Amino acid sequence: MKNILEISDLSVSFPGPNGKIPAVRNLSLSLGPGECLAIVGESGCGKSVVAHAVLRLLPPGTEVLGRVSYQGQDLLHLSESEMDQIRGQEIGMVFQSPERALNPVMKIGKQLISPQVMHGLCSEKDAELRAKGVLRSLGLDADRIMSSYPWMCSGGMCQRIVFAAVSLLHPNLVIADEPTKGLDAANVTDLEAMLSTVTAGKSTGLLLITHDMDVASRLSNRIAVMYCGMIVEEGETRSVLSSPKHPYTRGLLGSLPKNGFVPIPGISPALSDLPNGCVFHPRCAFAEETCRTDIPDLKDGVRCRRC
| Closer Cβ to other proteins, 70 or 280, answer by number | 280
Give the C-alpha separation, 11 to 166, whole Å. Answer: 27
Instruction: Name the residue type at position 289.
Output: E
Q: Per-residue contact track with other proteins, 189 to 218, x per CB under 8 A? A: ----------------------xxx-----
Give the C-alpha separation, 290 to 278, whole Å. Answer: 9
User: Minimum CB separation from other proteins for residue 99, in Å?
Assistant: 13
Give the C-alpha separation, 174 to 46, whole Å. Answer: 18
The H or E element spanning position 196 is helix 185-200
User: Minimum CB separation from other proteins for residue 256, in Å?
Assistant: 6
Residues 216 and 237: beta-carbon distance below 8 Å: yes
Contact segment (CB under 8 A) with other proteins among 61-69, 79-87, 150-158, 284-292 equals 150-158
User: Minimum CB separation from other proteins for residue 185, in Å?
Assistant: 6
Contact with other proteins (CB under 8 A) among 255, 282, 295, 303: 255
Give the C-alpha separation, 167 to 74, whole Å. Answer: 24
Give the C-alpha separation, 213 to 94, whole Å. Answer: 18
Give the C-alpha separation, 233 to 222, whole Å. Answer: 11
Under rule CB under 8 A, which residues in 8-37 are in contact with other proteins? none
| Closer Cβ to other proteins, 148 or 187, answer by number | 187
**Number of residues this chain uses to bind other proteins (CB under 8 A):** 30
| Sheet of 19-31, strands arranged across | 19-31, 5-16, 63-70, 73-74
275 near other proteins, rule: CB under 8 A: no
Contact with other proteins (CB under 8 A) among 1, 18, 43, 285: 43
| Closer Cβ to other proteins, 142 or 264, answer by number | 264
Site residues (CB under 8 A) for other proteins? 41-44, 154-156, 181-187, 211-213, 251-252, 254-258, 261-264, 267-268
